[in-house]
Amino acid sequence: MLTEGFKSGPMPKIEVNRAAQDAPLLCGVEDRLVAVVTDRPLEVPVPRFGLEDVAGLADFVEREFLRASAPPQVEVLVGTRRLALDAEGQEILARVVRSLVGDPLGPREGPPIEIRIPGSPA
C-alpha cells in the first residue's frame, strides 16, 4: 500500500523535501523514515534520491518493500477445504510455527514445515 500523508502513522515513510521549502525534515529514523527525495545535499542516515531519480526510487521501493513483502506460501487445509489467509495471517502463522519448532530463520526462510492435526474420532 502506498499513501500520501500519515507522517505520524506506523508505516515506513519516504519524505520529499525541496530546497524551495527551506524546511527541516518532518520525519526521522525513529518515525520509520526509510528514504528522502530531495534537491539539496541533506545528510541523512537513509538512502537519498534526487527529484528526477524516479528509476532509482522505484528500484528501492521494489527491492525493499515489494519483493521483501511477498507473503510466504502458507496453505491451510481443513479436510479437503483450502482456507486463504491474508498476508498478515500468513506472516503470523509462519512466525509462531517457526518459533515453536526452534527455527530462528524467520517466516520466509528455512525448510518447509508441514503440520497435521487429526480430528477427534466420531
Predicted confidence (pLDDT) per residue in 62-100, tens digit: 888 887 555 556 777 777 777 777 778 888 888 888 888
- Greatest mean pLDDT among 1-5, 48-52, 74-78, 101-105 lies in 48-52
Instruction: Check residue 8 and give its pLDDT.
Output: 81
pTM, rounded to two decimals: 0.55
The three cell numbers locating residue 115: 503440520
Q: Where are the domains of the chain?
A: 13-66, 70-122
pLDDT over 70 at 120, yes or no: no
- CA distances for 26 relative to 19, 30, 31, 89, angstroms: 14, 11, 9, 32
Instruction: Check residue 76 and give its pLDDT.
Output: 77
Higher-pLDDT residue of 95 and 106 is 95
Q: Could you give the strand order of the β-sheet that contains 13-17, starting from the edge strand earlier in sequence?
A: 13-17, 33-38, 48-49
Residue 48 one-letter amino acid: R
Instruction: Check residue 121 and give its pLDDT.
Output: 59
End-to-end CA, the chain:
46
What would the pLDDT profile of 33-67 be if each residue is shown by its tens digit? 999 999 999 999 999 999 999 999 999 998 888 87
Mean pLDDT of 20-34: 91
Instruction: Check residue 1 and give its pLDDT.
Output: 63
